[in-house]
Structure 1
Amino acid sequence: MEERKTVKLKKDEFAIKEYIKKFVGKGKLSKVKTEYTPVGEKIIISTHKPGLLIGRGGEKILELTNILKKQFKLENPHIEIVEITQPEFDAQIMTDEIAQSLERLGPIKFKSITYKILERIMKAGARGTEIRLSGKLPGARAKTWRFAQGQLKKVGDSAKVVDRAQARAETRPGTVGIKVAILSPHAILKDEITISEELLKKLKERVKQFK
């Protein structure tokens, strides 16, 4: 019984997430999380454009709250907005931007579109980035193109701090799959050793003594 209830909750959460994405518009939000509290449901939306979601005088939030009540049978939904101040480190936002550019400009410019996003992410200070495109891409013998720069952990505990996302671009020649992985400069790596400036200074002084 508990297992069925859990499955239903997960299905409902996914349906709510997909609806909010359509309501807000592609490329305007990153994550949607649902938390259940004694007083109702908390819908946490992460976005780099909170103004578009809130609307003038909060009208958009009010409209979305009413829809969630009626369409998804939520008793007392409360929407919380989390602003993303550095969208370059958010894999979902960057993935959606690539998808939108491919749909608008066409897949013939996939290299310039991807390199532009890659450069933007790295210039913002990311430690590493990997972008993969697969599908109907012109002039591509291989089905998948990989664009990467910097350091990116792929295995072990350190790989868990890499932000990953995927999306699809519906272009005239066909569907293009997009995957983005970003290692933020704020990520804490368990296998990383940091030496303080003070300790480094002491070590240099000791080396001088032995010379």
Structure 2
Amino acid sequence: MIERNFIRQAYRKIQIEDFFRKNLSKAGFSGVEIVKTPMATKIILTVAKPGLAIGYSGKNVKKLTQTLETKYGIKNPVLEIKPIENPEYNAQHIVNSIINGLERNFSWRSVVYRAVKELTVTNLEGFELLIKGKLMSKGGRKQRYRVPFGYMKKAGDQVSKVKVGTGAAYTRSGAIGVILKLIPPGTVFPDKISKDEILNKVSKLYAVMSEEEKKEVETLDKEQKK
């Protein structure tokens, strides 16, 4: 009985997340947190554009609240809108944006290209975008497309510093899974050698080189430029 209730609650949360993602796509929906209290059910929404989520005079909030009561059976829902801090570094927000583009029947190539283009102009330490599923026409084979960029931690305790966003788009051709891992700028890893450390080490190496060795470096540089 407890297991059934747990599964039922988890499934309902997925439905609610999907509901908000579709209705608040223009507001840049990122996530939802449901907190039950004795008096009401508090629903905290994280969005990139709070003004669009709230609507004129709170009209959109009232509409969403009514739907939660009538369609999903949530008693006394109270919505709280929170802005996303640095949306360009929020993995789930970016994934939701990709899913929104795919479900609007844009080509997966154009959606991925736009997302990667925006990610590469930020100061991220690194990211890895993976999409897999029915990327081509209906009835085609499942495919996967991976875009790695910069530094990415994949093992050890420091993996907790990697931000992860996941989701699935349901298109005409079938389901497409989206996974994005990113490392925000300024994240420090003890085992990662910084660019300054490398340059400093190279400078020290050059300082102890003989004149003949330095001439060899100049020769190699000239050959490289040809």
Note whether the superposition's TM-score is higher than 0.5: yes
TM-score bracket for the superposition, by shorter chain length: 0.7 to 0.9
TM-score normalized by the length of structure 2:
0.68
Q: Which residue of 1 aligns with 2:119?
A: 121
Q: Which residue of 2 aligns with 1:43?
A: 43
Where structure 2 has 5 or more consecutive residues not aligned to the other structure, the ranges are 194-226
Per-residue CA distance 1:41-79 (angstroms, 9 max, x = gap): 111111102122100000111111122222222222111
Structure 1 range deviating more: 45-54 or 13-22: 13-22
Q: Provide the C-alpha distance between the structure 2 equivalents of 1:38 and 1:66, rounded to a whole number of angstroms.
A: 20
Residue 104 of structure 1 deviates from its aligned partner by 4.8
Residue 147 of structure 1 deviates from its aligned partner by 0.9
Q: Which residue of 1 aligns with 2:57?
A: 57
Contact 1:129 1:182 in 2 (8 A): yes
Residue 148 of structure 1 deviates from its aligned partner by 1.3
Report sequence identity in percent: 29
Q: Which residue of 2 aligns with 1:130?
A: 128
- Pairs within 5 Å for 1:66-105: 66-102=66-102, 103-105=104-106
Structure 1 range deviating more: 143-152 or 66-75: 66-75
Question: 1:67 and 1:173, CA in 2 relative to 1: closer, same or farther beyond 3 A?
Answer: closer
Counterpart of 1:56, as a letter, is Y
Q: Provide the C-alpha distance between the structure 2 equivalents of 1:73 and 1:149, rounded to a whole number of angstroms.
A: 44
Q: Which residue of 1 aligns with 2:147?
A: 147
Q: Which has the larger radius of gyration?
A: 2
Aligned length: 189
Contact 2:133 2:142 in 1 (8 A): no
Counterpart of 1:19, as a letter, is F
TM-score normalized by the length of structure 1:
0.72
Where structure 1 has 5 or more consecutive residues not aligned to the other structure, the ranges are 195-211
Q: Which residue of 2 aligns with 1:177?
A: 177
Task: Determine helix, strand or coil for the equivalent of 1:30.
Answer: strand
Per-residue CA distance 1:99-140 (angstroms, 9 max, x = gap): 444555424xx1x643442242243221111111334557xx
Question: 1:186 and 1:104, CA in 2 relative to 1: closer, same or farther beyond 3 A?
Answer: farther
Q: Provide the C-alpha distance between the structure 1 equivalents of 2:39 and 2:152, rounded to a whole number of angstroms.
A: 42
